[in-house]
Structure 1
Amino acid sequence: MTIGIWVLGDQLSPEQSALQSCQPDQCRVILLESSSVLQRRRYHAQKLVLVWSAMRHFAADLSGQGWTVDLRECERFGDGIRSWIAEHGISELRLMEPADREFRRAIEALQLQVPVIWLASNAFLWSREDFAAWAAPYKQLRLELFYREGRKRFGVLMEGEGSSAEPLGGQWNFDQENRKPPAKGLQGPEPLWFQPDAITEAVISKVEQLDAALPGTLRPFHWGVSRSQALQVLDHFVETRLAGFGPYQDAMVSGEPTLWHALLSPYLNLGLLHPLEVIRHLEREGLRREVPLAGLEGVIRQILGWREYTHGLYHWFGGDYPASNHFAADRPLPGWLEQLGGSGMRCLDTVLEEIAASGYAHHIQRLMVLANYGLLAGLNPQALTAWFHRMFIDGFDWVMQTNVLGMGLFADGGRLASKPYAASGNYIKRMSTYCKGCRYDVKARTGDNACPFNSLYWDFLARHEGELRRNPRMALVIKQLDKLPAEELGAIRAAAGRHLEASAPAPR
């Protein structure tokens, strides 16, 4: 009789708790590569290659460390795990708690005929119990309070000892220094990409032969697929990008899809890197290299603050959260979202083309272009959240539900964000180079050439005026809405209606 350990595709760390619960000579490890996932979600082709290739590389790495490892290709998880259990006489199956709720539900629904032991996840800095203990006293959970607690708890960018410790530089947050619009001709350093090895090429060939029309461009594929390559990306970020990360982290530039961004999220979310090792490395090297504190604090806040915060909220909010729809938005997704281009708006089409090429867009492109459009247009929040999950190289349920439903669409009514992050075309003009050469006039609100972000913005405010008027943080924009002459507002809303009608998906 043998102990079995099932490693899921986003748990690719030898330090994960299920592997740590057993010695290599006491158990057998299984990784399952199931094509049935595509029956539920048509993932971006590069995302599928990344996960499957990373699993195969991880299996090889574990084998080299003395583990007995099986990687099985199967149609369905249930069939694959049952045959493996029977074949090897598995007496007990151990798993690390999945980050996504649906994985545990799906595994429990298999009703396997052996005991299934769940080990608490150690993939994040905050356990679910610790996050719940922090969250319980608060009526509203805000990132800044959580982030400060994390800085103190883990001793990151702090001066002094114990209760007298203070944030390095005398303040917790340097966000205002990290929001510069793009300077003319702004270019970031070249990212570190990799050529596919034989394992990855085999996966690419498999995906090419699937009987499924997957979104996105499959080749060239340049993501790292192993812990070794993930560590190289971390080192490359520190050496070439960290010092310049801060000022332009919110900027959007045509032809510059990565600028100074770290490109670490896929590797963190697969388990190839652990958040604390990344934070410690960034802090140590950033201080040694005298990187501007605003930029160093900014990138650490994304990992120690936002990433941990959204994961904690995902589990704290519970199983009803995915159905959130505060504004009762029900418009279906336009066809150009699935096609990853063809909206006619240069900002959206630029971002969608970049996603098609790599499955990546940075956080402001996601929030202030894609999710902002979804909010203003009243797109169905569940459909748009699922789209984000499928299209992004780093997308999982725990990532996208809080980021899209909460931050992007305000579909949770303010449980995460304090106001809707709604913006007109003026924000995109200020923070990007996208408006240059666009067929639409970013200064116009009415007429056939008016920027759709403008007409949709004022239409959104008018549609939800009663609700938004009760939010103190929306007071200024509601005053601006009140000043609009009725005739002009009517023309604006008519322009929004024409755009939405033109963007409706084609009948099936």
Structure 2
Amino acid sequence: MTTGIWVLGDQLWAGQSALASCQSAQRETPVILIESRDYARQHRYHRQKLVLIWSAMRHFAAALRADGWSVTYTIADDFGTPLHQWIQANKITEVRVMYPNNHPFRQIINNLQLGCPLHFVPNNHFLWRTEDFQQWATSRKRLLLEDFYRTGRREFKILMHQDQPIGGQWNFDSQNRQPPKGQLNPPSALWFEPDAITQAVIQEVQALDFPGYGALEPFRWGVTRASALAVLDHFVAHGLPSFGPLQDAMVTQEETMWHSLVSPYLNLGLLQPREVITAVETAYLNHNLALNSVEGFIRQVLGWREYMNGLYHYLKDDYGQSNWFHHTEPLPAFYWDSTQTNLNCLRQILSQVEKTGYAHHIQRLMVLSNFALIVGVSPQEIEGWFHAAFVDAYDWVMQTNVIGMGQFADGGILASKPYAASANYIKKMSDYCSHCYYNANDRTGEQACPFNFFYWDFLDRHQEKLKSIGRMNVLLGNLNRMDADDLDKMRVLAEAWRQQHRQQG
């Protein structure tokens, strides 16, 4: 009897459950990692995303070999062919895989005919087990993030004094929404020079025979656990002390602000959520850091990340096809080429994504996703773009985050109201509007900001549906008091813009 372990590309942790299940027999346990070129063709992935994942996989394979595992590393078109060869060569009688976190990949594995039993080992890359989240969710009338977050704080004893939150309140979000004013001095991000393995991957991605997206170089992401730990340490020392107040701010030429940049490493398995939370909480306790910064960051990992993953596995398999507003507009071409828009906020953020595969959460939600929502872009098209464009994006992240939170396509399962906003929000929280062709104050006319006329057009088009959402009543009241001629002009501007961009697409 020979058990073999297949390590997937987002499960790069020595303590992952499939490897842990054979830890005592690691020298006799064959391990395989596979780069599939056909799988990489499924989306027009950011070139740096491919480099990050494949280089991290190769480095992880080397680390496993150094630790005494017998590792096969294969580059192939598909997964089935190298798996069959590996099973036969090693006389494997059972294949173990840590349960894949993404539904489509689970289906790929289920469709493989391996010739021997395949056993899924429960996934241990999250604090909440899938069954524990399901038990929490089925016992509640509402699935609110804040309720889940408070349960997690109590369960894992994070920032708690007995049964009460440290500081006397659970949430310091009101202190963490400051607009950028005056001279800012954010810390430099910790980046890395590509080593020989990464340089080889860069050359291979450059030579691929299918289209990619974004700039391939300079590639500056870490690809090892040591690098991921260094990024975490760098954030705790330099970003965390001032993280909170300006975490929602957006500034020209500032790619990372005070953000941690740990999400790509968490989602690959190079970092674990508990160690990230512990590092931040320990820094707070040892160095008397501002509680609003510490709590704000922990909420992103213990709250948002765990909540999104839990919902992804709890909701029905067809959740990704949700389209409550029946939006069908094509994704504007400038999402793939930032030079095609003269909206400065979009151009700034999209050019940054092209260069790095990264943008922070407010850039994603309140600019990139917001614009697609108010234009009426198909939720599946914008979700597909997010999945391809960001180095930290996977199906489990993007379905809930884009379909549910960003596009409100689930009708309110995840969010309590649509994240739709006019140019006022961007003007307040960034410096983008001061360098734009459009006027952030204008709703009509030649230089009217598209965020303005699309926002009111969105409310107008969907007011019957939106009436069912209590938090929208004030905004709908403002819509009904609007001058009819102004609203007609905005409808015309919105439709003309859509027509123009349909033709460009």
Q: TM-score, normalised by structure 2?
A: 0.98
Tell me the residue number matched to 2:144. Answer: 142
Tell me the residue number matched to 1:195. Answer: 193
Alpha-carbon displacement from aligned partner over 1:274-327 (angstroms, at most 9, x marks no partner): 001110111011221111000000000000000000000001002010110000
Cα distance in 2 between the residues matched to 1:237 and 1:337: 30
Cα distance in 1 between the residues matched to 2:196 and 2:371: 40
- CA apart distance, 1:506: 3.1
2:297 is matched by which residue type in structure 1? V
Q: Is the 8 A contact 2:28 2:70 kept in 1?
A: no
Tell me the residue number matched to 1:16. Answer: 16
Cα distance in 1 between the residues matched to 2:94 and 2:403: 38
Q: Tell me if 1:77 matches 2:58.
A: no
Cα distance in 1 between the residues matched to 2:77 and 2:158: 45
Q: Is the 8 A contact 2:12 2:57 kept in 1?
A: yes
Q: Tell me if 1:470 matches 2:488.
A: no
SS in 1 for 2:193: coil
1:300 is matched by which residue type in structure 2? I
Q: Is the 8 A contact 1:30 1:69 kept in 2?
A: yes
Q: Is the 8 A contact 2:11 2:268 kept in 1?
A: yes
Cα distance in 1 between the residues matched to 2:172 and 2:359: 23
Cα distance in 2 between the residues matched to 1:140 and 1:388: 28
SS in 2 for 1:253: coil
| Comparing 241-250 and 208-217, the one that deviates more | 208-217
| Comparing 479-488 and 292-301, the one that deviates more | 479-488
Cα distance in 1 between the residues matched to 2:288 and 2:341: 44
Q: Is the 8 A contact 2:323 2:409 kept in 1?
A: yes
1:36 is matched by which residue type in structure 2? D
- CA apart distance, 1:354: 0.4
SS in 1 for 2:432: coil
Tell me the residue number matched to 1:158. Answer: 160
Q: Is the 8 A contact 1:332 1:383 kept in 2?
A: yes
Q: Is the 8 A contact 1:410 1:417 kept in 2?
A: yes
Q: Is the 8 A contact 2:228 2:265 kept in 1?
A: yes
Q: Is the 8 A contact 2:441 2:449 kept in 1?
A: yes
SS in 2 for 1:217: coil
Cα distance in 1 between the residues matched to 2:95 and 2:353: 38
Cα distance in 2 between the residues matched to 1:185 and 1:498: 40
SS in 2 for 1:435: helix
Tell me the residue number matched to 2:261. Answer: 263
2:15 is matched by which residue type in structure 1? E
Q: TM-score, normalised by structure 1?
A: 0.98
- CA apart distance, 1:505: 5.2
SS in 2 for 1:241: helix
Mark the runs of 5 or more structure 1 residues left unpaired by the alignment. none
Q: Report the identity percentage.
A: 52
For 1:253-402, what aligned pairs fall within 5 Å after superposition?
253-402=251-400
Cα distance in 1 between the residues matched to 2:239 and 2:486: 46
1:7 is matched by which residue type in structure 2? V
Alpha-carbon displacement from aligned partner over 1:207-256 (angstroms, at most 9, x marks no partner): 01111221100000000000000000000001111001000000000000
For 1:17-32, what aligned pairs fall within 5 Å after superposition?
17-22=17-22, 23-32=25-34
- CA apart distance, 1:26: 3.1
| Comparing 54-63 and 491-500, the one that deviates more | 491-500
1:456 is matched by which residue type in structure 2? F
1:269 is matched by which residue type in structure 2? N
Cα distance in 1 between the residues matched to 2:142 and 2:492: 37
2:61 is matched by which residue type in structure 1? A
1:197 is matched by which residue type in structure 2? D
- CA apart distance, 1:439: 0.3
1:289 is matched by which residue type in structure 2? H
SS in 1 for 2:33: strand
- CA apart distance, 1:86: 1.6
For 1:169-208, what aligned pairs fall within 5 Å after superposition?
169-208=167-206
SS in 2 for 1:200: helix
Moved over 4 A (4+): none
- CA apart distance, 1:500: 1.7
Cα distance in 1 between the residues matched to 2:185 and 2:396: 32
2:385 is matched by which residue type in structure 1? W
Tell me the residue number matched to 1:132. Answer: 134
Q: Is the 8 A contact 1:32 1:74 kept in 2?
A: yes
Tell me the residue number matched to 1:54. Answer: 56
Paired residues, what number? 503
Tell me the residue number matched to 2:5. Answer: 5
Tell me the residue number matched to 1:104. Answer: 106
1:275 is matched by which residue type in structure 2? P
Measured at CA, do residues 390 and 470 of structure 1 come closer, stay the same or move farther in structure 2, by a change above 3 Å? same
Mark the runs of 5 or more structure 2 residues left unpaired by the alignment. none
Measured at CA, do residues 153 and 328 of structure 1 come closer, stay the same or move farther in structure 2, by a change above 3 Å? same
- CA apart distance, 1:339: 2.0
Over the residues paired in the alignment, what is the CA RMSD in angstroms?
Answer: 1.0
SS in 1 for 2:180: coil
Alpha-carbon displacement from aligned partner over 1:376-404 (angstroms, at most 9, x marks no partner): 01100011101100000100000000000
1:303 is matched by which residue type in structure 2? V
Tell me the residue number matched to 2:448. Answer: 450
Q: Is the 8 A contact 1:179 1:247 kept in 2?
A: yes
